[in-house]
Amino acid sequence: MHSTEVAVFAALVALPVAGVAADDAALRQDALARFGVIEAVPEATVLRPDVKLGQALFWDERLSANGQTACASCHLPEDWGADRRRFSPDARGRNTARHSQTVFNATLQPTLRWTGDRTSAAHQAERSLTGSMGFDSPEAVVPLLRRLGYEADFQAAFPQEAEPVSPGNYGKAIQAYEETLITPAPFDRYLSGEDDALSVEQKEGLRVFSQVGCGDCHRGPLLGGRGLRRFGVEKDYWIATGSERKDPGLFESTQVESDRYRFRVSMLRNVARTGPYFHDGSVSDLEEAVQVMADVQLGDRLPEAQARAIVAFLESLTGEVPPHYRKPGARLVLIEFKEGELPQGPPESAKVPRTAMLEWGSAAGLVLASEKPDLLPYQTFLVFQKSAGPPGAP
Ligand code: HEC
Ligand code: HEC
């Protein structure tokens, strides 16, 4: 007598489950068509001589006009390869004109920088010598490299060359290093078939992201990074961002009127960790940045729940800080503390350069630290004891 009831009951239970599965399949299929997976480089690559040389160059403050500015000074590990400051001081003591972008995954983009005016990471690094690093000419770094004992490393990295120490090879080695800074994230696991890699809200965010039109510009495996578009399609961007300066974008270099306010569509990999946002770092909150985008690119702000879901989705693009994103041989600084017993004054280790990076558990320890605003001054130095694990860890 109960058999039909049981059958109906089973069908009712089964239906939503089948619906979710079908939903997931459709959502994934759509996402695979628009976006795409990124993959970490094999560990062996990190040990290649050119990559190791690039790592050393990237982190060496001495290779700058003031002897204190490394690439990593403005591309910080605790900021996922970007810089939490709106602008960053260069080796001449001047602030950069635009906000520092993350170097993670950057080499997967066809062109670099806010207006896509560098065609390769090698080109970008070489140009930095007379830019951020403050030298009068790119060649000025050559005697310095020799004096600091880099010659053998250049020889190992470029064995077929008679005179390997050159600005060109400086750029190539740095590019080789940057190509290893790829950060797969939960989103990649989701695309690869792991339904649970995204939460229900994150899936909703992914759906909204595509539905409202974000994905029309932010496409490909990086969710952006290619193509230049006007910032402010529907209205002037500075009204929404409160920017002090009306940066003309690509127009500055081309003087072509249609290039006014054109910027590269930002990639969104790790975006939840690389604020403040936009070329001038004018917006510090990610949800607000999403609303600014909806407002000026699509014509209206989103209902709050949708904006929040998009932010949740963007969180799924956060990968781990690569373990070799640190100064080679950086000194370890241990500060131990328990939850609720946070250190008060600046620790002894505050003398350690900002770029001296953490040896262990970089991502876990750092996420934890950056979520405690009172610890911000210390967070570069926070390393939790390996055996004990970070406070609150299982
Ligand atoms: C003084 C701070 C500073 C220093 C030092 C610095 N950068 Fe940058 N970096 C920036 C800023 C700011 C931008 C964005 C510039 C722009 O588009 O106008 C940037 C952009 C980049 C990009 C482009 C990222 C993208 O998504 O297009 C790469 C790659 C990069 N830097 C690598 C390096 C390397 C390699 C060095 C060392 C040779 C270096 N940076 C030194 C501040 C700095
Ligand atoms: C018409 C193309 C276009 C559309 C549509 C669009 N964006 Fe953007 N997005 C851009 C461009 C261009 C930039 C870079 C703006 C600048 O110069 O600061 C950007 C920047 C961003 C940034 C800041 C990234 C950073 O690192 O500073 C976020 C976040 C973002 N977009 C999210 C979204 C979301 C969410 C949507 C949908 C609500 C969206 N975008 C719709 C073109 C677009």
Alpha helical stretches, state H, 198-303: 200-212, 214-217, 237-241, 251-254, 286-293
Q: Whose CA is nearest to atom 15 of ligand 1?
A: 113
Q: Confidence class of residue 385 from pLDDT cuts 50, 70 and 90?
A: very low
Q: Confidence class of residue 136 from pLDDT cuts 50, 70 and 90?
A: very high
What pLDDT, on a 0 to 100 scale, did the predictor assign at position 24? Answer: 85
Q: Which of 164-168, 188-192, 239-243, 320-324 has the lowest mean pLDDT?
A: 320-324
User: What kind of fold does domain 43-178 have according to CATH?
Assistant: Cytochrome Bc1 Complex; Chain D, domain 2 (1.10.760)
Q: Is 261 in the pocket of ligand 2 (CB under 6 A)?
A: no
Query: Which ligand lies nearest to the CA atom of residue 269 in the structure?
Result: 2
Distance between CA atoms of residues 34 and 108, nearest Å: 16
Q: How many helices (H) and strands (E) does the chain have?
A: 14, 2
Residue with tokens 């930002």: 266
Q: Confidence class of residue 18 from pLDDT cuts 50, 70 and 90?
A: low
Q: Whose CA is nearest to atom 9 of ligand 2?
A: 265
What is the CA(265)–ligand 2 centre distance, in A? 6
Residue-wise pLDDT tens digits, 175-216: 999 999 999 999 999 999 999 999 999 999 999 999 999 999
Residue-wise pLDDT tens digits, 89-108: 999 999 999 999 999 999 99
What pLDDT, on a 0 to 100 scale, did the predictor assign at position 327? Answer: 87
What is the CA(207)–ligand 2 centre distance, in A? 17
Q: Which residues line ligand 1 (CB under 6 A)?
A: 58, 69, 71, 73-75, 88, 90, 96-98, 100-101, 103, 106, 109, 112-114, 121, 124-125, 128, 132-133, 174, 178
Mean pLDDT, to the nearest integer, of 40-53?
A: 94
Query: Which ligand lies nearest to the CA atom of residue 281 in the structure?
Result: 2
Residue with tokens 């007598």: 1
Helices 200-212 and 304-315 sit at what angle, rounded to 10 degrees? 110
The token pair at 340 is 């609720």
Cα separations in angstroms, 221 against 29, 116, 274, 301:
14, 18, 18, 26
Q: Confidence class of residue 328 from pLDDT cuts 50, 70 and 90?
A: confident
Kindly state the DSSP code that residue 346 receives in the 8-state scheme: P
Closest ligand 1 atom to 170 CA: 38
Phi, psi for residue 112 in degrees, rounded to 5: -115, 165
Q: Which of 266, 302, 308, 316 to mutate to test the pocket of ligand 2 (most atoms within 8 A of CB)?
A: 266
Distance between CA atoms of residues 129 and 171, nearest Å: 9
Strands 262-264, 228-230: pairing is: antiparallel
Mean pLDDT, to the nearest integer, of 252-258?
A: 96
Q: Whose CA is nearest to atom 43 of ligand 2?
A: 217
What pLDDT, on a 0 to 100 scale, did the predictor assign at position 22? Answer: 76
More confident residue, 306 or 343: 306
Mean pLDDT, to the nearest integer, of 274-298?
A: 98
Q: Confidence class of residue 368 from pLDDT cuts 50, 70 and 90?
A: very low
Distance between CA atoms of residues 157 and 314, nearest Å: 37
What pLDDT, on a 0 to 100 scale, did the predictor assign at position 100? Answer: 98
Secondary structure (DSSP) of 26-69: HHHHHHHHHS----PPPGGGGGSHHHHHHHHHHH-TTSSTTS--
Amino acid at 174: I
Q: Is 218 in the pocket of ligand 2 (CB under 6 A)?
A: yes
Q: Confidence class of residue 167 from pLDDT cuts 50, 70 and 90?
A: very high
Mean residue pLDDT across the chain: 84
Q: Which of 124, 228, 355 to mutate to test the pocket of ligand 1 (most atoms within 8 A of CB)?
A: 124
pLDDT reading at 377 higher than 50: no
pLDDT reading at 338 higher than 90: no
pLDDT reading at 373 higher than 90: no
pLDDT reading at 386 higher than 50: no
Residue with tokens 């100064």: 327
- Of 355, 374, 376, 356, the residue nearest 366 (C-alpha): 376
Closest ligand 2 atom to 298 CA: 5
What is the CA(359)–ligand 1 centre distance, in A? 24
Percentage with pLDDT > 70 across the chain: 78
Mean pLDDT, to the nearest integer, of 228-242?
A: 97
What is the CA(145)–ligand 1 centre distance, in A? 20
Q: Whose CA is nearest to atom 10 of ligand 2?
A: 265
What pLDDT, on a 0 to 100 scale, did the predictor assign at position 19? Answer: 63
Mean pLDDT, to the nearest integer, of 117-134?
A: 97
Phi, psi for residue 73 in degrees, rounded to 5: -65, -30
Distance between CA atoms of residues 56 and 328, nearest Å: 6
Query: Which ligand lies nearest to the CA atom of residue 90 in the structure?
Result: 1
Query: Which ligand lies nearest to the CA atom of residue 127 in the structure?
Result: 1
Q: Is 233 in the pocket of ligand 2 (CB under 6 A)?
A: yes
Give the DSSP H or E segment for 15: helix 3-34
The β-bridge partners of 228 are 264
pLDDT reading at 356 higher than 90: no
Q: What does the domain layout of the chain look like in residue ranges?
A: 20-38+184-315, 43-178, 329-394
Long-range contacts of 134-142 (CB under 8 A, 24+ apart): 134/64, 134/65, 134/66, 134/69, 134/90, 134/91, 134/92, 135/64, 135/65, 136/65, 138/167, 139/167, 140/65, 141/63, 141/167, 141/170, 142/166, 142/167
Q: Which superfamily, per CATH, for 20-38+184-315?
A: Cytochrome c-like domain (1.10.760.10)
Distance between CA atoms of residues 86 and 123, nearest Å: 24
Distance between CA atoms of residues 348 and 335, nearest Å: 9
Closest ligand 1 atom to 58 CA: 37
Distance between CA atoms of residues 281 and 326, nearest Å: 24
Cα separations in angstroms, 336 against 71, 113, 383:
29, 39, 7
Q: Which of 31-40, 219-228, 315-324, 378-387 has the lowest mean pLDDT?
A: 378-387
